[in-house]
Structure 1
Amino acid sequence: MRILFLVQGEGRGHLTQALSFAQLAESAGHEVIGALVGVTQDRPTPAFFSEQFPAPLTPLPSPGLVYHTQTNALQPSKTAWKALLNARAYRRSIRQIRDVIESRKPDVVINFYELLGGLTYGFYRPSVPMICIAHQYLAFHPRFPFPAGQLIDRALFKLTSRLTAWGAEEMLALSFDQQPDVPGRRLRVVPPLLRREVAELNPTTGDFFLAYTTQPGLVTELIKTHQQHPEIPMRIFHSGAQLAEERIDETLTYHAINGQRFLDAMQQCRAVVTTAGFESVCEAFYLGKPVLMIPQPNHFEQACNALDGQRAGVGVSANTFDLNPLLTFMPQYTTETSEQFRAWYGRGYYLFLAALNRAVQSKTSKSRQRPGALSTAGSQS
């Protein structure tokens, strides 16, 4: 089976999930023929993805989120305005996606929450089936927890998610734990996609807390947290760090973001402090590390992630980088919770391959039902 990827390049999560799915697909004997990656002028394709992805990459101008430079709060109005200003470039990207699908002729397209992928299928209706994969699709599950109020944010979040999956055969919702499928909404609940390197780690329990953020401004908040608890060693991986390891004081160390070094630190740490991105939280959960999840201001999706992670027993949700809720939670955290998550993750291989087979079978079934196919069948009988 020949598989083409569409990947949203915002943050690390969707890119990492695409890498994991590529590993899974190739291990099952399928061929990954390429990936179209949504990028912005200040957000090119990260090196960790371009160096590890097993097929050619094509960057595409795509909408990106806009954050306040000082508060790091997501700015929805500026995000929408920036998208409108670049609408012409995005139309070209949509046509390029259509042309690549028509010329490369994959058997299936896997879309990792790239909005332009959904719009391509909405406007041009390619004949190749598309499967959409993201944690965000749990928003269509009746059991998914939303923050109280914020009805407009909830509606916009669900609208965006629907547009990314416009014309999809199925939405595969990545979940911390098993939930029933919702066939009427084309929704199937599946385990997270983790990098093979995570599953190969042997976690131990060290004395330090590990912190991670891609927003440089949040480092100021982490420093305040460190000053409140100077007795707790803390290692901070952030995008503003330039050195592999920079000792700030006796218990604080900065690290430039590096995938392997971050995983090495995660398998040894005592707990994890991070924003509520789905991927990092899942990696910590797999390794049995309790997590303090702090959604970025105005980031409704991360607020949902934090609530869902807290429900599943990953850790605690908080609005600030205050370690006290995490310190209170840690004695309650048990290895049994992590073991259940590992068992759920172990089912993913078969569930994802089954989704690929369903998509191809659906395409075959539809081609047989076309008038031309029926008349041909009749002439042969």
Structure 2
Amino acid sequence: MRVLFLVQGEGRGHLTQALSLAQLLQIAGHEVVGAIVGITADRDVPTFFSEKFSAPITPVFSPGLVYNAGTNALEPVKTTLQALRYAKPFWRSLVQVRDIIEKEQPDVVVNFFEMLGGMTYALLRPTVPMVCIAHQYMAFHSNFQRPKGQWLYRQAFKLNTRLTCFGAQELLALSFDKQPDEPHKRVRIVPPLLRQEVTELKPTAGDFLLAYVTQPGLKVELLKAHEQHPDIRMDGFHSGVTIPDQAIDDTLTFHAIDGKRFVEFMACCKAIVTTAGFESVCEAAYLGKPALMIPQSNHYEQACNAIDGQRAGVGVASDRFDLDKLINYLPQYDKQLSERFRAWHAQGYFLFLAALNRASTPTSKPSSGGFFQTRMRHLLRS
């Protein structure tokens, strides 16, 4: 089977998932013929992906998300306005994606939450079947946990999610645990795709807390928590640190952002403090480390992740760096969860291969809606 990837280049999650699936497909004897990666004017294909992905990579322009420079909060209105401003180059990108698909003629296209994929299939109708993979597709599942209120953010999140998956044969929703499939919605539940660097680690019991600090406000909260609990050792990987290790005092050390070192620290920590990104929380669960999940401000998807992760028992949700909340949660953490999580993760090999085999021999193609196609073509070309 020949497989072509379409990958959202925003953040690390979808890119690491693509690397993980490529490893799985290669083990099974299938060929990944290439990857189309969505980039912006100020964000190229990350080095960690280009160095590890063995097939050709084609960067294609795709409107990115807009975050507040001071708070790192997601800006939904500015994100939408930016997408409209780039309508013409976005249309050219859709044509480029369609042409690559038709030239390569893979047996199936796998889309890791890149809007270029859904919109290309909605408007230009490539003949190759597509499967979409992302945790975000849990939003269409009846059991998915959502925060109360936030109606506008919820609708924007669902709209953005739908735009990525028009024309897909199936939506493979990555989940913390097993849930029933909902084939009438094209939704099938699959385990997380974790990078090999994590699954090869051997976790040990630790006595320190590990934090991943990318938001300026989170660093301030971490320092306050440290002042209140100076006896608790904490290590924080912080985007503002330029040297490998910066000791603040005997029990607090900041480290420069380094993905490899971070997971090594994770394997031997007591618990982690992180934003509620699906990938990092799953890595912690695989290693048996409870998580304090703090969603980024205005980031509806992370708010959902935190609630759903708490339901699944991988950690506790919080709206701030509440160290007392984490300390009180630790005795309640189920130490058998990691074993169950690993067993669920192990099923992925068969579930992903089965899904791609189904898609490569489809009985019918989902309709993307003629009226929608006509209006969107007119908007993007005008």
TM-score w.r.t. the length of structure 2 is 0.92
User: CA separation in 1, counterparts of 2:227 and 2:101?
Assistant: 53
**Kept after mapping to 1: 8 A contact 2:33/2:56:** yes
TM-score w.r.t. the length of structure 1 is 0.93
| Matched residue type, 1:57 | I
User: CA separation in 1, counterparts of 2:214 and 2:123?
Assistant: 34
Query: Which residue in the other structure is 1:370 paired with?
Result: none
- Choose between structure 1 and 2 for higher RCO, CA contacts under 8 A separated by at least 6 residues: 2
Deviations 1:174-213 (A, max 9, x none): 0000000001000000000001221111100111111114
**Kept after mapping to 1: 8 A contact 2:71/2:216:** no
Query: Which residue in the other structure is 1:242 paired with?
Result: 242
Does residue 311 (structure 1) correspond to residue 311 (structure 2)? The answer is yes
User: CA separation in 2, counterparts of 1:92 and 1:254?
Assistant: 44
Give the superposition deviation at 1:32: 0.9
Query: Which residue in the other structure is 2:178 paired with?
Result: 178
* Change beyond 3 A, Cα 1:41–1:220: farther
User: CA separation in 2, counterparts of 1:242 and 1:285?
Assistant: 29
Residue correspondence of structure 1 range 88-127 to structure 2 within 5 A: 88-127=88-127
**Kept after mapping to 2: 8 A contact 1:173/1:187:** yes
| Matched residue type, 1:6 | L
Give the superposition deviation at 1:338: 1.6
Give the superposition deviation at 1:219: 2.6
Structure 2 alignment gaps of length 5 or more: 366-382
User: CA separation in 2, counterparts of 1:216 and 1:50?
Assistant: 29
Residue correspondence of structure 1 range 221-300 to structure 2 within 5 A: 221-300=221-300
SS in 2 for 1:193: coil
User: CA separation in 2, counterparts of 1:282 and 1:117?
Assistant: 25
**Kept after mapping to 2: 8 A contact 1:210/1:273:** yes
Give the superposition deviation at 1:217: 5.1
* Change beyond 3 A, Cα 1:216–1:56: farther
**Kept after mapping to 2: 8 A contact 1:62/1:90:** yes
User: CA separation in 2, counterparts of 1:219 and 1:83?
Assistant: 31
Query: Which residue in the other structure is 1:76 paired with?
Result: 76
**Kept after mapping to 1: 8 A contact 2:291/2:315:** yes
Number of aligned positions between the proteins: 365
SS in 2 for 1:220: helix
SS in 2 for 1:249: coil
Query: Which residue in the other structure is 2:156 paired with?
Result: 156
**Kept after mapping to 1: 8 A contact 2:313/2:334:** no
* Change beyond 3 A, Cα 1:349–1:359: same
SS in 2 for 1:36: strand
SS in 1 for 2:248: strand
Residue correspondence of structure 1 range 1-381 to structure 2 within 5 A: 1-216=1-216, 218-362=218-362, 365=363
Moved more, 160-169 or 214-223: 214-223
Deviations 1:283-342 (A, max 9, x none): 000000000000001100000000000000011000001111111110111221221111
Structure 1 alignment gaps of length 5 or more: 368-381
User: CA separation in 2, counterparts of 1:243 and 1:89?
Assistant: 39
Give the superposition deviation at 1:346: 0.8
User: CA separation in 1, counterparts of 2:283 and 2:364?
Assistant: 39
User: CA separation in 1, counterparts of 2:240 and 2:111?
Assistant: 30
Give the superposition deviation at 1:164: 0.4
Moved more, 57-66 or 350-359: 57-66
Question: Where does structure 1 differ by over 3 angstroms across 4 or more consecutive aligned residues?
Answer: 213-218
| Matched residue type, 1:42 | D
Moved more, 347-356 or 42-51: 42-51
Give the superposition deviation at 1:240: 2.6
Query: Which residue in the other structure is 2:380 paired with?
Result: none
**Kept after mapping to 2: 8 A contact 1:216/1:238:** no
Give the superposition deviation at 1:228: 2.6
* Change beyond 3 A, Cα 1:250–1:321: same
User: CA separation in 2, counterparts of 1:145 and 1:271?
Assistant: 23
SS in 2 for 1:250: coil
Give the superposition deviation at 1:9: 1.2
Give the superposition deviation at 1:216: 4.9
**Kept after mapping to 2: 8 A contact 1:38/1:114:** yes
* Change beyond 3 A, Cα 1:91–1:218: farther
Give the superposition deviation at 1:106: 1.1
**Kept after mapping to 2: 8 A contact 1:175/1:190:** yes
**Kept after mapping to 1: 8 A contact 2:218/2:321:** no
User: CA separation in 1, counterparts of 2:342 and 2:359?
Assistant: 27
SS in 2 for 1:152: helix
User: CA separation in 2, counterparts of 1:220 and 1:161?
Assistant: 33
User: CA separation in 2, counterparts of 1:219 and 1:197?
Assistant: 27
User: CA separation in 2, counterparts of 1:210 and 1:340?
Assistant: 23
Moved more, 30-39 or 245-254: 245-254
Q: What percentage of aligned pairs have identical amino acids?
A: 64
**Kept after mapping to 1: 8 A contact 2:284/2:290:** yes
